[in-house]
């Protein structure tokens, strides 16, 4: 178990946690250069490549834009959040972005993209959700302007949008030339758009437990294929909570707290015998239970959204997910043009 020690030992711990067993040796190597890495949250995506968030934040015509461009980028990825989301959620708090939030799934998508040499552009919607009128034009202009300004216009452009962001990306794709797109937990706007045959290949990453959406996605895959457009799906299924899940996926949430939370959820009957969530995190009264339990959660308010997101993810009805990033980036990579 983790001893509450220095920040350094926490960092070592978090690096070790972010590693798969086969590359634990690489991680040990990383530990030796920890002083160089100090102060950042790192993820080791594949052998020898480590990446951290160091984004630039700008207001462009009152629209919040946060981005990061790795050396020798090979493509540009536009990420669109869901309702109640913001660009801030994709980025860890850092010197350049002290108000960034770094939600566990969003941050891993951005980190994985950067490690794979995608320049990452995130934009906040004006309202709670994306709107499909004027906002489409505004975002289109910002993407075009940003790509030109950063000399990235020659690179392939791809997009991933979740939920409201998925609808938005599906519509934006009729106006901007994307190499391919990923619609996460969203069926898209296809019935209401004029889809031409040059519409980009579309991958649906979704949670079939949401049966209504599952059916609409199946219809839209057929709709696109009939028009000769490559359309595929990846299904995300529920998985059990484990005592160390929250510590593994939320930087800064320690192992002891993670175990206590797991035990609380178990004792309160929020999970079944196998550890699966009985309800969506949003419908589980876990925050009330936490308050009554006396379990101390350091920086409580800071982690509420992070924990809630992981509970929703485990239940797998409607949540952003980074668990399919390998397949998602394979999709982007095999549809570059
Ligand atoms: C900002 O707004 C002005 C005026 O509406 C417009 O001409 C310009 O293209 C916008 N800039 C970007 C980057 O969208």
Compute the average pLDDT of residues 226-248.
97
Ligand 1 proximal residues by C-beta, below 6 Å: 60-61, 141-142, 145
pLDDT of residue 9 exceeding 60: no
88 lies in the same domain as 232: yes
Alpha carbon distance 330, 328 (integer Å): 5
pLDDT of residue 115 exceeding 90: yes
Alpha carbon distance 160, 183 (integer Å): 6
133 lies in the same domain as 224: yes
Q: Which CATH number do you get for residue 97?
A: 3.40.50.1820
- The predicted structure's pLDDT at residue 34: 36
Protein residue with its CA nearest to atom 9 in ligand 1 = 141
**Beta sheet of 63-68, edge-to-edge order:** 56-60, 63-68, 118-123, 75-80, 157-162, 181-184, 202-206, 231-235
Compute the average pLDDT of residues 5-12.
39
Compute the average pLDDT of residues 207-232.
97
29 lies in the same domain as 62: no
pTM: 0.86
pLDDT of residue 299 exceeding 70: no
Q: Which of 16-25, 43-52, 214-223 has the highest mean pLDDT?
A: 214-223
**Distances from the Cα of 302 to the Cαs of 80, 94, 171, 250, 307, in angstroms?**
22, 15, 34, 11, 10
Neighbouring CB atoms inside 10 A of 39's CB total 11
For residue 233, the CA-to-ligand 1 centroid distance in Å is: 36
- The predicted structure's pLDDT at residue 337: 84
Q: What percent of the chain has pLDDT over 70?
A: 84
Structure tokens at 312: 């929703």
For residue 118, the CA-to-ligand 1 centroid distance in Å is: 25
Q: What total of structural domains would you count in the chain?
A: 3
For 240-267, what is each residue's pLDDT tens digit?
999 999 999 999 999 999 999 999 999 9
233 lies in the same domain as 244: no
Structure tokens at 119: 């320049």
Alpha carbon distance 216, 202 (integer Å): 14
- The predicted structure's pLDDT at residue 300: 61
Compute the average pLDDT of residues 286-307.
83
Q: Which domain holds residue 161?
A: 53-237+322-334
Closest ligand 1 atom, CA of 146?
13
Alpha carbon distance 68, 79 (integer Å): 12
101 lies in the same domain as 229: yes
For residue 141, the CA-to-ligand 1 centroid distance in Å is: 7
- The predicted structure's pLDDT at residue 48: 37
Higher pLDDT: 237 or 29? It is: 237
pLDDT of residue 16 exceeding 60: no
For residue 61, the CA-to-ligand 1 centroid distance in Å is: 6
> Of the given ranges (15-19, 60-64, 119-123, 268-272), which has the lowest mean pLDDT?
15-19
201 lies in the same domain as 156: yes
104 lies in the same domain as 224: yes
- The predicted structure's pLDDT at residue 285: 96
257 lies in the same domain as 170: no
Closest ligand 1 atom, CA of 60?
13
For residue 59, the CA-to-ligand 1 centroid distance in Å is: 12
DSSP 40: S
Pocket test for ligand 1, best of 67, 141, 145, 150 (most atoms within 8 A of CB): 141
- The predicted structure's pLDDT at residue 52: 87
- The predicted structure's pLDDT at residue 38: 32
Alpha carbon distance 179, 155 (integer Å): 10
154 lies in the same domain as 260: no
Beta bridge partners of 79: 122, 160
124 lies in the same domain as 254: no
For residue 26, the CA-to-ligand 1 centroid distance in Å is: 46
143 lies in the same domain as 100: yes
Helix axes 24-32, 7-17, angle to 10 degrees: 160
Strands 63-68 and 56-60, by their bridges, are antiparallel
Alpha carbon distance 238, 261 (integer Å): 19
- The predicted structure's pLDDT at residue 264: 95
pLDDT of residue 20 exceeding 60: no
- The predicted structure's pLDDT at residue 296: 75
- The predicted structure's pLDDT at residue 298: 59
For 162-179, what is each residue's pLDDT tens digit?
999 999 999 999 999 999
Pocket test for ligand 1, best of 61, 123, 143, 150 (most atoms within 8 A of CB): 61
Q: What percent of the chain has pLDDT over 90?
A: 78
* Average pLDDT along the chain: 87
155 lies in the same domain as 255: no
């Amino acid at each position: 178990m983790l001893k509450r020690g220095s920040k350094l030992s926490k960092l070592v711990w978090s690096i070790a946690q972010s590693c798969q067993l086969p590359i634990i040796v690489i991680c040990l190597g990383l530990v030796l250069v920890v002083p160089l890495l100090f102060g950042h949250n790192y993820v080791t995506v594949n052998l020898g490549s480590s990446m951290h968030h160091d984004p630039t934040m700008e207001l462009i015509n009152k629209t919040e834009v946060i981005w990061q461009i790795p050396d020798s980028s090979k493509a540009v990825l536009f990420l669109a959040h869901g309702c109640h989301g913001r660009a801030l959620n994709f980025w860890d708090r850092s010197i350049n972005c002290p108000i960034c939030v770094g939600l566990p799934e969003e941050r891993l998508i951005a980190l994985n993209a950067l490690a794979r040499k995608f320049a990452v552009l995130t934009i906040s919607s004006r309202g709670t959700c994306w709107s499909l009128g004027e906002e489409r034009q505004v975002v289109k202009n910002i993407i075009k302007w940003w790509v030109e300004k950063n000399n990235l216009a020659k690179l392939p452009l791809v997009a991933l949008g979740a939920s409201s962001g998925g609808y938005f990306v599906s519509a934006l794709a009729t106006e901007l030339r994307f190499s391919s797109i990923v619609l996460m937990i969203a069926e898209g706007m296809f019935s209401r758009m004029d889809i031409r045959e040059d519409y980009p290949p579309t991958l649906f990453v979704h949670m079939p437990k949401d049966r209504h959406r599952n059916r609409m996605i199946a219809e839209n895959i057929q709709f696109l294929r009939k028009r000769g457009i490559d359309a595929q799906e990846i299904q995300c299924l529920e998985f059990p909570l484990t005592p160390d899940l929250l510590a593994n996926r939320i930087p800064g949430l320690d192992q002891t707290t993670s175990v206590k939370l797991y035990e609380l959820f178990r004792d309160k009957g929020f999970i079944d015998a196998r550890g699966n969530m009985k309800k969506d995190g949003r419908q589980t009264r876990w925050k009330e239970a936490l308050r009554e339990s006396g379990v101390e959660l350091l920086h409580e308010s800071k982690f509420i959204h992070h924990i809630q997101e992981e509970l929703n993810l485990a239940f797998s009805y409607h949540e952003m997910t980074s668990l399919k990033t390998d397949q998602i980036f394979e999709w982007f990579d095999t549809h570059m043009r």
